[in-house]
């Protein structure tokens, strides 16, 4: 198969994996939180209170996307906004105790999905996949830096 066709096939398979992963998440995670909301809560759970800008940078999404998802998390009682005591202009997102309980359950469900996804992969397969995805990220960052 010529290189261009191989690349197009690879792109198509990669897109299908992402789409199926999203579908599997929605179908198997017993929670109303989206994958992005999970990533925000996971960061708050593991790192503690965070500014919206720090969350956006860590998750590689826009501040607007973080704000919109945080609004939904707040409405659901899973996170709160708190102001910095020294500088009232600075706002931190923080996970609530209800959010922590949800995270513990969702993490169990996520781990089951991940284990099933990679169950037939050898350690070498997983290492190679990690290396290849890391290389792809480096290439994407290079493209982004040129714009």
Structure token pair of residue 81: 């906004």
Q: What is the pLDDT of residues 108-133, one digit of tens each?
A: 998 999 999 999 999 999 999 999 99
For the chain, report the end-to-end CA distance as a whole number of angstroms: 32
Question: Has residue 89 been placed in a domain?
Answer: yes
Q: Is residue 25 part of a domain?
A: no
Tell whether 14 is covered by a domain. Answer: no
Q: Could you tell me if residue 3 is inside a domain?
A: no
Structural domain including 68 reads 31-146
Residue 90 banded pLDDT, cuts 50, 70, 90: confident
Q: Is residue 102 part of a domain?
A: yes
pLDDT at 85: 86
Q: CA 56 to CA 42: how far, in whole Å?
A: 13
114 within a domain of the structure (yes/no) = yes
In a domain, 133, yes or no: yes
Give how many domains the chain has, as a whole number: 1
What CATH number is given to the structural domain containing 139? Answer: 1.10.10.10
Answer whether residue 50 shows pLDDT above 70. yes
């Amino acid at each position: 198969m010529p290189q261009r066709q191989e690349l197009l096939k690879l792109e198509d398979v990669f897109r299908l994996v992402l789409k199926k992963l999203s579908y599997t998440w929605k179908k198997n995670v017993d929670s109303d939180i989206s994958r992005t909301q999970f990533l925000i809560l996971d960061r708050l759970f593991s790192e503690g209170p965070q500014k919206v800008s720090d969350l956006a940078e860590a998750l590689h999404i826009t501040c607007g996307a973080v704000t919109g998802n945080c609004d939904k998390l707040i409405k659901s009682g899973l996170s709160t906004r708190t102001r910095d005591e020294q500088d009232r202009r600075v706002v931190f997102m923080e996970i609530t105790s209800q959010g922590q309980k949800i995270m513990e359950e969702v993490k169990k469900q996520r781990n089951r999905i991940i284990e099933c996804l990679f169950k037939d992969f050898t350690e070498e397969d997983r290492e190679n996949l990690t290396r290849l995805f890391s290389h792809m990220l480096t290439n994407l960052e290079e493209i982004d830096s040129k714009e």
